[in-house]
């Protein structure tokens, strides 16, 4: 297996790439959304949602090639781009009037990702996105850790999708008048997704790009009044069946899958590794399951992560594993420290598994 790191847009700088290589990372996942280099975290979090930029130059062929050469110069491979900008495809998610126009943009991004020689496009197909997870000092030693809190759940004002405000005027008007996005059924969401997937798959195939879908975090059947697509492991089977091709694959988030109730995480990993369609793995541990859980360090949750790595290896998975989110530790650089710890833990675990069985 290869050890990778997901680097958010805010941190896509020469310094972070050097940090990643120093930690032994060989494969980079560029999580472009959520901010740009030069912005501070405070800048990024100042608005009512995460920042989102329509037609962002970073998704152009030139932008992708520049990013790739930065990563290559640091001695690593740019393995994947993670997520489309909400501002680029909100009407694909909402089935709005700009849906077809926005699909043209999404297809161009996938073509450009392929043309830049990047093999994988990770994405979420989610209206509510990742939400309702305050950071509290409940991790080991008081580390700030995400927990799900259903009491803060509110419906989504129009103008927002996936925690991003794509139309500020509409959003402000909607907040003032309690105007929320139209309710839909789970079947309607699956119809939207099916239409999207059948349209994007041939484009991805031609571009040499694998589309990798992340499950819904937190994995509830409904969140903020909207249905969720992948909130149980078995729903990945449904998704894989819609387009039965290697271009339709999973961004396999062990953390999110471990939050799901009524299923055995080890059986889930065993089942899906056998499909050969785990494109890459997000590794994270958790205590509890929805609606009551919190994220933990890799060695501090209810899941035996080394057993997960063994199941993946024994199932023939030889792809990229990245740390998912980690608790924020008490240093002046909580993200770097948390990732450094997780990367070291994963590298040592992979080595130990091979040595013990070897
Ligand atoms: Mn994840």
pLDDT tens, residue by residue, 51-98: 898 999 999 999 999 999 999 999 999 999 999 999 999 999 999 999
Distance 101 CA to ligand 1 centre (A): 29
Residues 173-194 have a mean pLDDT of 96
pLDDT bracket for residue 34 (50, 70, 90) = confident
Model pLDDT, residue 358: 58
Distance 218 CA to ligand 1 centre (A): 10
Model pLDDT, residue 356: 78
Residue 46 has pLDDT above 80, yes or no: no
Q: Tell me if the pTM is above 0.85.
A: yes
Say whether 150 sits in a helix, a strand or coil. Answer: helix
Model pLDDT, residue 14: 96
Distance 124 CA to ligand 1 centre (A): 10
Distance 169 CA to ligand 1 centre (A): 31
Q: Which contacts (CB < 8 Å, 24+ apart) does range 22-26 have? A: 23/339, 23/340, 23/343, 23/344, 24/343, 24/344, 24/347, 25/76, 25/343, 26/2, 26/76, 26/77
Distance 108 CA to ligand 1 centre (A): 25
Distance 229 CA to ligand 1 centre (A): 15
Distance 80 CA to ligand 1 centre (A): 14
Distance 119 CA to ligand 1 centre (A): 19
Model pLDDT, residue 333: 94
Distance 42 CA to ligand 1 centre (A): 23
Distance 179 CA to ligand 1 centre (A): 30
Residues 144-151 have a mean pLDDT of 86
Say whether 219 sits in a helix, a strand or coil. Answer: coil
């Amino acid at each position: 297996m290869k050890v990778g790191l997901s680097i958010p847009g805010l941190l896509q700088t020469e310094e972070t790439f050097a940090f990643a290589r120093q930690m032994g990372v060989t494969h980079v996942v560029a999580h472009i959304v959520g901010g740009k280099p030069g912005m501070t975290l405070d800048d990024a979090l100042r608005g009512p949602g995460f920042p989102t930029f329509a037609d962002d130059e970073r998704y152009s062929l030139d932008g992708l090639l520049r990013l790739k050469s930065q990563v290559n110069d640091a001695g690593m491979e740019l393995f994947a781009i993670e997520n489309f900008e909400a501002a680029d495809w909100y009407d694909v998610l909402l089935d709005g009037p700009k849906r077809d126009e926005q699909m043209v943009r999404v297809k161009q991004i996938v073509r450009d990702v392929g043309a830049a020689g990047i093999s994988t496009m990770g994405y979420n197909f989610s209206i509510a996105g990742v939400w309702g997870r305050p950071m509290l000092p409940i991790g080991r030693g008081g580390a700030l850790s995400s927990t799900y809190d259903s009491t803060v759940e509110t419906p989504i004002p129009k103008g927002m999708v996936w925690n991003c405000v794509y139309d500020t005027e509409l959003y402000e008007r909607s907040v003032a008048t309690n105007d929320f996005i139209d309710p839909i059924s789970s079947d309607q969401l699956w119809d939207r997704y099916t239409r999207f997937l059948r349209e994007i798959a041939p484009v991805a195939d031609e571009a040499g790009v694998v589309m990798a879908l992340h499950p819904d975090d937190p994995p509830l059947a409904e969140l903020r009044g909207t249905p969720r697509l992948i909130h149980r492991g078995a729903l990945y089977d449904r998704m894989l069946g819609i387009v039965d091709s290697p271009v339709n694959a999973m961004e396999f988030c062990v953390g999110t899958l471990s939050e799901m109730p009524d299923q055995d995480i080890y059986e889930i990993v065993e089942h899906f590794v056998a499909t050969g369609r785990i494109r890459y793995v997000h590794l994270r541990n958790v205590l509890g399951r929805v609606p009551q859980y919190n994220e933990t360090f890799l060695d501090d949750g209810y899941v035996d992560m080394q057993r997960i790595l063994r199941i993946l290896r024994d199932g023939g998975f030889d792809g990229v594993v990245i740390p998912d989110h980690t608790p924020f530790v008490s240093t002046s650089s909580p993200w770097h420290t948390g990732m450094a710890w997780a990367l070291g833990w994963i590298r040592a675990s992979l080595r130990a598994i091979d040595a013990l069985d070897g």
